Amino acid sequence: MTTIQLTTKINAPIQIVFDTARDIDLHQKSTATSNEKAIAGVTTGVINEGETVTWRGKHFGFYLTHKTRITKMDFYDYFLDEMEEGNFKSFRHKHYFKEINGVTIMKDLLQYETPFGIFGKLFDVLLLKKHLTKFLLERNKILTETAEKESIIFY
Distances (CA, A) of 72 to 33, 48, 79, 92, 93: 29, 9, 5, 11, 11
pLDDT band at 151 (very low <50, low <70, confident <90, very high): confident
Identify the pLDDT of residue 150: 86
Residue 124 has pLDDT above 60, yes or no: yes
> Does 155 sit behind a cis peptide bond, omega within 30 degrees of 0 on the bond before it?
no
* Kind plus residue range of the DSSP H or E element containing 131: helix 129-154
Phi, psi of 115 (to 5 degrees): -80, -175
| Cα–Cα dist 13/30, whole Å | 21
Distances (CA, A) of 11 to 1, 17, 27, 87: 33, 9, 19, 35
Q: What is the pTM of this model?
A: 0.93
CATH 3.40.50.10210 fits 2-154, yes or no: no
Q: What is the pLDDT of residues 44-87, one digit of tens each?
A: 999 999 999 999 999 999 999 999 999 999 999 999 999 999 99
Identify the pLDDT of residue 153: 66
What mean pLDDT is predicted for residues 10-28? 96
| Cα–Cα dist 154/44, whole Å | 22
Q: Are strands 37-41 and 52-59 parallel, antiparallel or unpaired?
A: antiparallel
Residue 155 has pLDDT above 60, yes or no: no
| Cα–Cα dist 55/64, whole Å | 8
